[in-house]
Copies of this chain bind each other. A is one copy, B any other.
Amino acid sequence: MQEFAVRPDPTDPRLTRRVHGHDQDGAPVEASVVVERPLTLFLNGQEIVTMMTIGDHPDWLAIGYLRNQHMLRPEDELIGVDHDDETGTVVVRTRTRTNFEEKLRKKTLTSGCAQGTVFGDLMERFDSVSLPADAVLRTSWLYRLMHKINTAPSLYLEAGAIHGCALCQQDRVLAYVEDVGRHNAIDKIAGFMFAHGLEGGDKIFYTTGRLTSEMVIKCVQMGIPILVSRSGFTAWGVDLARQAGLTLIGRARGARFLVLSGAQRILRDADARMVAESDRGAGRKGAEADG
């Protein structure tokens, strides 16, 4: 797969809008703001949820959401995804009806940008996942990935107030997506992986969002052994990562990072001081996309 097979398109006029305002001195300013729009997801005849999203890749978002919620199981045969832009709906159709009503019974509102994760069910599957022990993250890859992601044209650099995440392999960024909700972003990646038949075992997942329990759970169930964020950790996120044997790296900015789980997968082949020098002045600084 080519590098940046998917990347943000800050020139797409549907995704941002120019608005007029004033700066601290009262001078008129024109700024870009991200557009959020409702997207209602149906699984066959059943309405599942309405999500607020920037609206790109509705098909991946729909499939990724259903897969990450285990409403769409590996054995369910997908026969179509119909997106209607005008009504803001996306319908995922399977060969046989799925039995997901019980999954909707108990929704736990989770911290951060939660989508009412069906928690008990996720935890059940979480325990059965085995992440590859021989996966490796070279620090030279990590620094190159962060430089590529932070300097790639993006809605973040254009308008701020958005989360990004990226599916990577060694030092290559395969897919970089953004959304107003960080869970939409990771779900789009899950849908992208499903659409292209990609496995997680040799991948690295990067997110701008915090490393909370749900983030860790989703990464683990996508089979990805290495999760990196420029943001911080929550205690439960750390616990779950250790339980699953996930390599968990946070506070990754410039040459610095902190690893709180799975440090044995890290191979330090880069000189941190060099990176700090070369990366000065590059792209993303303080994260404006506070969830």
For A72, what are the chain B residues with a Cβ–Cβ distance below 8 Å?
A: none
- Give min CB distance, A21 to chain B, whole Å: 4
A22-B259, A23-B258, A290-B182 as given contacts; A213 in contact with B159, CB under 8 Å: no
Q: Mark A204-245, 1 if CB is under 8 A from B, else 0.
A: 000011111100000000000000001111111110000000
Partner of A22, one of B22, B116, B258: B258
Contact digits for A245-288, partner B, Cβ 8 Å, 1 yes 0 no:
00000110101111111010010100010000000000001111
How far, in whole Å, are A220 and B102 apart by their CA atoms in the complex?
36
Interface residues of A in 30-66 (CB under 8 A from B): 31, 33-36, 38, 49-53
User: How many A residues touch B, CB cutoff 8 Å?
Assistant: 80
A81 touches B (CB below 8 Å):
no
| Contact present for B21 and A180 (CB under 8 Å) | no
A159 touching B232 by the CB < 8 A rule? yes
12 contacts between A and B (CB under 8 A): A21-B258, A31-B258, A33-B232, A36-B213, A36-B236, A52-B108, A111-B113, A112-B113, A160-B251, A161-B231, A209-B291, A210-B288
